[in-house]
Amino acid sequence: TYAIGGYVNERYYDKHRNLFQFDYDNPKCCGSERPQANERVIHVRGYSGEMARKFKKKGFEELSANKTADELLGAATNRDEPITVLSRFASIGTSYVDVLQARGWKNARFLTTETGEQSFCYLMRAQKEMIGYSMSSFASWGAMLG
């Protein structure tokens, strides 16, 4: 069962899973990286890097690294668990890792992949928790199909 905009849809779940079928064992498709079972995955879309002049005007503003650490993860008690920041933009992704590590997340790391398919596979494989922005189709579909 998954929800799109509050609408729960069981009827088409299997069809959507088949539509987004990937060869998980092929490194060229999904890469060699796999989330750990107890790992939190944060997908930072990087709208400011992609649409530098228009992202705010178009409503694509993301939470800052500080707000992500404080508001989304502030109540988490076990900061020894692994947490991965996944992004196409190293400067944006590493800034999130720096803030998380300053807040006590010792096992925070940055990950970028070679292709969009590899990123999508990584998001779909997250088991513990996947955090992303609803404006990101990767995060939305990865959460629904993972």
Whether the model clears a pTM of 0.85, i.e. scores above it, the answer is no
Structure confidence by residue, pLDDT tens digits, 14-46: 776 666 677 777 777 777 888 899 999 998 876
Task: Evaluate whether 121 touches 97 at the Cβ level (below 8 Å).
Answer: no
Give dist(CA 26, CA 42) in Å, integer: 23
- At 58, is the pLDDT very low, low, confident or very high (cuts 50, 70, 90)? low
Closest listed residue to residue 64, CA positions, set 32, 30, 117, 100: 100
Top-confidence range, 105-109, 114-118, 140-144: 105-109
As a whole number, mean pLDDT of residues 42-61 equals 67
pLDDT of 13 reads 67
Please report the pLDDT score of residue 2 as a whole number: 45
Give the N- to C-terminal CA distance of the chain in Å, as an integer.
11
- Predicted confidence (pLDDT) at residue 64 exceeds the cutoff of 80: yes
Question: Quick one: 103 exposed, middle or buried, by C-beta within 10 A (0-12, 13-18, 19+)?
Answer: middle
**Cα(54)–Cα(142) distance, integer angstroms:** 25
Between 33 and 136, name the one with better pLDDT.
Answer: 33
